[in-house]
Amino acid sequence: MLIRPNDIQKVANMFFNAIHEDEIEIVNALYEAVKSKDTEKADKLMEELAVDLEEHFSTEEELMREADFFGYPMHKAEHDRMRAEFKRVHERWKSNRNFAEVKRFLEDKLAPWLKLHVAQWDSVTAMHIGD
Ligand SMILES: [Fe+2]
Ligand SMILES: [Fe+2]
């Protein structure tokens, strides 16, 4: 298991928490597929993660806009950074099916980013939005 549910801070909005829990499951499943070098599963889960990340980020951004959250541009910029990074990794995966690259991305980029991002941005945003 790459990310334990307790590694990701619970925030003050139940939608955010539900989104994060779903994402942790996909990331962990992808991590297992990559470790066991299962191309078919990894392909499917990369697609799933692409859809899930976009839903995750756009849902938060919509809620922020509705609530007029002051940190919207900065929070969205953080999402955009990860959108671009994931897109790059996904494109590379589709061209080379290199398990090591995806494994490194999940371990060194996405997992630490998620922990920090939720603690730094989602927690403050959720407090502003409320439940
Ligand atoms: Fe989030
Ligand atoms: Fe966020």
pLDDT at 76: 98
CA distance 5 to 27: 11
Residues, beta carbon < 5 Å, ion ligand 1? 122
Q: Indicate the average pLDDT of the chain.
A: 97
pLDDT at 40: 98
Q: What angle do CA 104, 110, 115 make, to 5 degrees?
A: 130
Ligand 2 centroid distance, CA of 121 (Å): 6
Other Cβ atoms closer than 10 A to 7: 14
Ligand 2 centroid distance, CA of 114 (Å): 9
Helices vs. strands in the chain: H and E counts, helices first: 6, 0
pLDDT at 89: 98
pLDDT in tens, 36-89: 999 999 999 999 999 999 999 999 999 999 999 999 999 999 999 999 999 999
Here the CATH number for the domain that contains residue 46 is 1.20.120.50
Ligand 2 centroid distance, CA of 27 (Å): 16
State the ligand closest to the CA atom of 8: 1
Q: How many domains does the chain have?
A: 1
State the ligand closest to the CA atom of 20: 1
Q: Is residue 2 part of a domain?
A: no
pLDDT at 130: 82
Q: Is residue 84 part of a domain?
A: yes
- Evaluated on CA atoms 14, 19, 22, 27, the torsion sign reads negative
CA distance 17 to 23: 10
